[in-house]
Amino acid sequence: MTETVETQVLDRIITAHGQKPSAVIAILQDIQEHYRYLPAGVFPYLAKALKISQSGIYSVATFYENFSLLPKGKYVFKICDGTACHVRKSIPILERLRAELDLSEEKPTTDDLTFTVETVSCLGACGLAPVLTVNDKVYPAMTPDKASELLNSLKEELKNA
Amino acid sequence: MLKTREDLKAFRALCQKAVKAEPRKILVCAGTGCIAGGSLDVYAKLKEVMAAKGLNCSVQMEVEAGIPDVALKKSGCQGFCDMGTLLRIEPQGWIYTKVKPADCEEIIEKTILKGEHIGRLAYHHEGRACKCAAEIPFYAKQTRVTMARCGEIDANYIEEYIAAGGYEALEKALFEMDSDRIIREITESNLRGRGGGGFQTGKKWSQVARQKETVRYVVCNGDEGDPGAFMDCGVMEGIPHQMLEGMIIAGYATGASEGYIYVRAEYPRAVERLRGAIAQAEAKGLLGDNILGSGFSFRLRINRGAGAFVCGEGSALTASIEGKRGMPRVKPPRTVEQGLFGKPTVLNNVETFAAVPLIIEKGAQWYRSIGTETSPGTKAFSLTGNIRNTGMIEVPMGTPLKEVIFGVGGGMREGATFKAVQIGGPSGACLTNDHMDLPLDFDSLKKVGAMIGSGGLVVLDENTCMVEVARFFMNFTQKESCGKCAPCREGTRRMLEILERIVAGEGRDGDLEMLEELADTITATALCGLGKTAASPVISTIRSFRSEYEAHIYEKRCPAGSCQKLKRITIDPELCKGCSKCAKVCPVGAISGKVKEPFVIDGNTCIKCGACLTTCPFQAIKEA
Ligand SMILES: Cc1cc2nc3c(=O)[nH]c(=O)nc-3n(C[C@H](O)[C@H](O)[C@H](O)COP(=O)(O)O)c2cc1C
Ligand code: SF4
Ligand code: FES
Q: Which fold has domain B378-461?
A: Ubiquitin-like (UB roll) (3.10.20)
* Helix (H) or strand (E) segment spanning residue B571: strand B569-571
Enumerate long-range contacts of A33-36, CB under 8 Å, 24 or more apart. Answer: A34/A9, A35/A5, A35/A71, A36/A68, A36/A71, A36/A72, A36/A76
Q: A90 and A59: one domain?
A: no
DSSP B309: G
pLDDT digits (tens, 9 = 90+) for B144-183: 999 999 999 999 999 999 999 999 999 999 999 999 999 9
Number of CB pairs, chain A paired with chain B, less than 8 A apart: 135
Residue A1: the pLDDT is 43
- What ipTM does the predicted assembly reach? 0.94
- In the structure, what pLDDT confidence band is assigned to residue B490 with cuts at 50, 70 and 90? very high
Summarize the confidence of residues B295-307 as an average pLDDT.
97
For B152: left if phi > 0, alpha if psi spans -120 to 50, otherwise beta; the answer is: alpha
Rounded to the nearest 10 degrees, the angle between the axes of helix B546-555 and helix B536-544 is 90
Q: Say which residues have a Cβ less than 8 Å from residue A90's Cβ, sequence separation at least 6.
A: A79, A80, A81, A129, A130, A132, A142
Query: Which of helix, strand or coil describes residue A39?
Result: coil
Partners of A125 on chain B (C-beta within 8 Å) are 32-33, 36, 81, 230
> Are the C-beta atoms of residues B299 and A24 closer than 8 Å to each other?
no
Q: Which-ligand-closest: CA of B353? A: 1
- Provide the shortest C-alpha distance from residue A38 to chain B (in Å): 13
d(CA B97, CA A18): 46
Amino acid at A21: P
> Are the C-beta atoms of residues B228 and A84 closer than 8 Å to each other?
yes
Provide the number of structural domains found in chain A: 2
**Span between the terminal Cα atoms of chain A, in Å:** 32
Look at chain B and count its residues: 624
Q: Minimal Cα distance from B265: which residue of A?
A: A66
* A81 at interface of B, judged by CB pairs closer than 8 A: yes
Q: A45 and A114: one domain?
A: no
Structural domain including A51 reads 7-63
Is the CB–ligand 1 distance for residue B529 below 6 Å? Answer: yes
Query: Which of helix, strand or coil describes residue B86?
Result: coil
Q: Say which residues have a Cβ less than 8 Å from residue B600's Cβ, sequence separation at least 6.
A: B571, B591, B592, B593
Residue B607: the pLDDT is 80
Q: Which fold has domain B166-368?
A: Rossmann fold (3.40.50)
The ligand 2 atom nearest the CA atom of B522: 1
Q: A82 and A56: one domain?
A: no
Amino acid at B156: N
Does 1.20.1440.230 match the CATH number of domain B466-554? yes
Q: What is the CA radius of gyration of chain B?
A: 27
Judged by CB atoms closer than 8 Å, whether chains meet at A123 and B456 is answered as: no
The ligand 1 atom nearest the CA atom of B221: 11
Judged by CB atoms closer than 8 Å, whether chains meet at B233 and A131 is answered as: no
pLDDT digits (tens, 9 = 90+) for B446-455: 999 899 888 9
- In the structure, what pLDDT confidence band is assigned to residue A3 with cuts at 50, 70 and 90? low
pLDDT digits (tens, 9 = 90+) for B312-365: 999 999 999 999 999 999 999 999 999 999 999 999 999 999 999 999 999 999
Residue B300: the pLDDT is 98
- Give chain A's mean pLDDT: 93
Does 1.10.10.10 match the CATH number of domain B567-623? no
Closest CA to B263 of B308, B208, B320, B224: B224
- Provide the shortest C-alpha distance from residue A74 to chain B (in Å): 19
Q: Is the pLDDT of residue B623 over 90?
A: no
Pairing type for strands B569-571 and B391-396 reads unpaired
> Are the C-beta atoms of residues B310 and B480 closer than 8 Å to each other?
yes
Amino acid at B51: A
Smallest CA separation from ligand 2 atom 6, residue: B485
Q: Say which residues have a Cβ less than 8 Å from residue B451's Cβ, sequence separation at least 6.
A: B196, B423, B424, B427, B428, B429, B442, B445, B533, B536
DSSP B21: H
Task: Please report how many Cα atoms fall inside a 13 Å half-sphere around the Cα of residue B51, on the Cβ side.
Answer: 8
Q: Is A8 exposed, middle or buried (0-12, 13-18, 19+ CB in 10 A)?
A: exposed
Partners of B224 on chain A (C-beta within 8 Å) are 124
The CATH number of domain B18-135, selected from 3.40.30.10, 2.70.170.10, 1.10.10.10, 3.10.180.10: 3.40.30.10
Q: How large a percentage of chain A has pLDDT more than 70?
A: 98
Q: A57 and A81: one domain?
A: no
Is the CB–ligand 3 distance for residue A129 below 6 Å? Answer: yes
Backbone φ and ψ of B12, nearest 5°: -60, -40
Q: Say which residues have a Cβ less than 8 Å from residue B568's Cβ, sequence separation at least 6.
A: B603, B623, B624
Residue A2: the pLDDT is 44
Q: Is the pLDDT of residue B9 over 80?
A: yes
Domains of chain B, by residue range, sit at 18-135, 166-368, 378-461, 466-554, 567-623
d(CA B76, CA B456): 19
Higher-confidence position of B271 and B65: B271
